[in-house]
Structure 1
Amino acid sequence: MSKIGLFYGPEGGNVEKVAKLIAEKIKTRRVEVHKVKEIDADVVSQYSNIIMGVSTLGKHTWSSDNSGNDWDRFLPNLDGLNLKGKKIALFGLGDHIAYADFFVDSMGDLADVVKTTGAEIVGKVTDEGYEFNESKAFVDGMFVGLPIDEDFESELTDERVDKWLEIILPVFV
């Protein structure tokens, strides 16, 4: 089996915590973990199997000049990169209580960029067990990846990651 590239940001918070949990469950020898703020986007093309994790900031903190997010530098270089034939699974962190109208929106934004690369998005998840009002990541009755709420549902993270890995690992070659 080929290595899996796991790319995440930001560093030091819940996204990093979940990224490390995923890597631990897959087994470190098979996963190479990368902080998006420390690499160039073309590193993604070195992998056939890719996992990407992102957080969703509250809308009140968003602005056109926001450059504090680790993905701000990385995403524009990912957009249009040729990843045809590669499989990408996404996970996103969000707060379903305070941001029920924007729940894991950044995962939806990331999926939009991934689509421009020609890669296949794998690991879609139903909304069963989730409470939210709106989400850019909820498309055609499915989340484009794994939604996680470490603020209010951290007790569900382990089980949700396990179920998601049962979906994505068999399609990673």
Structure 2
Amino acid sequence: MKFLVALMGALSAAGAALALDVSAKFDSIDGGTLAVSDWAGQPVLVVNTASQCAFTKQYRGLQDLYDTYRDQGLVVLAVPSNDFKQELRSNADIKEFCELQYGIDMPMTGITSVKGPSAHPLFVSLRKEAGFVPRWNFSKVLIGPNGTVVAQFGSNTKPMSDAITSQIEDLLK
């Protein structure tokens, strides 16, 4: 019985450790604000992006992923960041580039810091609660419908890879 009580306490503490700041507002690239909590009950793949990076072609895969699973509830949130010095100068330039080059219509934030002392509160909580810190552009974190981290993926993991799609499909069942 003591073991069961200890296990339940540990599981409860582990659940509390995954409290992400999903309600923290981002400026939207389209104007206004958005937050991961806007999609409560849905899986959200959050990706820090940059328009002048060797991985920028992943925008196509991110849009394909969004197109494939959006009707089932997946949200792909692109978070343009200049933390690695590879982003265009303005939100308007990023928006135009993404629309013209990749036909992007997934939700996008304005230019946002994702690491260091000026990181957005969501990324601060991802670091604190899940150890997720983008090491480069196009790092990805999958947040489950309940607001907890399900999986993390590095820049080399392509958006339509089995590693990502299998996790998403499990969440959408």
Task: Tell me the TM-score normalised to structure 1 length.
Answer: 0.32
Please identify the structure whose Cα radius of gyration is greater: 2
* Structure number with higher relative contact order (C-alpha < 8 Å, ≥ 6 residues apart): 2
Task: Tell me the TM-score normalised to structure 2 length.
Answer: 0.32
